[in-house]
Amino acid sequence: MTLEQQQILIEISDKLGVADYELLYIGAMTAIDLIVAVALYALIMKIWRIRRRNSAS
């Protein structure tokens, strides 16, 4: 992470009242990863159901 990115992260954590900006970063990245994983899982399951239905016909 560049110094400019770190400064932005520190400013955001100050505005949110979070003392540990690294913990804020880890928490935010974990939440984003979880959201992406759930969305991809849903998409994969939808594609799998469509292919399974089409192959059964």
Quick: pLDDT tens for 13-31: 999 999 999 999 999 999 9
Fill in the DSSP letter of residue 17.
T
pTM given for the model: 0.76
- Residue in the block written with tokens 């935010």: 28
φ, ψ (nearest 5 deg) of residue 4: -65, -40
Whole domain around residue 21: which residue ranges?
3-56
The contacts of residue 10 (CB under 8 Å, 6+ apart) are 21
- Cβ-contact 18, 6 below 8 angstroms: no
Instruction: Identify the band that residue 56 occupies on the pLDDT scale cut at 50, 70 and 90.
Output: confident
Counting the structural domains of the chain, the total is 1
